[in-house]
């Protein structure tokens, strides 16, 4: 599944270090896309955020791209979430809309330079 990843320089550029060992992003997730963070971190990673857009997003966790996804939260516009991910676990933020871009303000622990970030493109028929 993760072989369909498209690394996005914009996602990396959106990161603004908030403190040593932490990061912040004003994240935009295109319609039907999934943003992922982590997977190779050696320590726990806490991801928290607020849905600043107009569309619902789902927050999930997976051990790798092929293991089952676990639903962490369904986040309506204006709502917030927070979850601690284990070492090596991947945080997934999925836009539920097929037409509207999702917008989130996201904070995370961990060294931004050691965290993988990418978009998982939707399946095209």
Q: State pLDDT tens for residues 62-100.
A: 987 677 999 999 999 999 999 999 998 999 999 999 999
Q: How much is the pLDDT for 89?
A: 92
Q: How much is the pLDDT for 18?
A: 38
Instruction: Give which of 120, 108, 121 is closest to 14, Cα–Cα.
Output: 108
Beta strands per DSSP E along 22-114: 22-29, 34-38, 45-51, 57-62, 70-75, 80-85, 90-95, 102-109
Domains detected in the chain:
2-120 (2.60.120.10)
How do residues 29-71 score in pLDDT, each as one tens digit?
999 999 999 988 888 899 999 999 999 999 999 987 677 999 9
Overall pTM surpassing 0.85 (yes/no): no
Choose between 66 and 10: higher pLDDT: 66
């Amino acid at each position: 599944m993760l072989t369909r990843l498209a690394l996005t320089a914009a996602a990396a550029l959106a990161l603004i270090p908030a403190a040593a060992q932490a990061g912040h992003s004003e994240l935009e997730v295109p319609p039907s896309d999934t943003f992922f963070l982590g997977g190779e971190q050696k320590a726990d990673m806490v991801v928290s955020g607020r849905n600043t857009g107009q569309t619902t997003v789902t927050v999930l966790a997976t051990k790798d791209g092929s293991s089952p996804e676990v639903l962490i939260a369904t986040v309506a516009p204006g709502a917030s979430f927070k979850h601690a991910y284990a070492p090596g676990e991947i945080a997934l933020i999925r836009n539920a809309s097929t037409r509207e871009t999702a917008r989130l303000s996201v904070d995370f622990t961990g060294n931004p330079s050691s965290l993988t970030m990418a978009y998982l493109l939707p399946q095209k028929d």
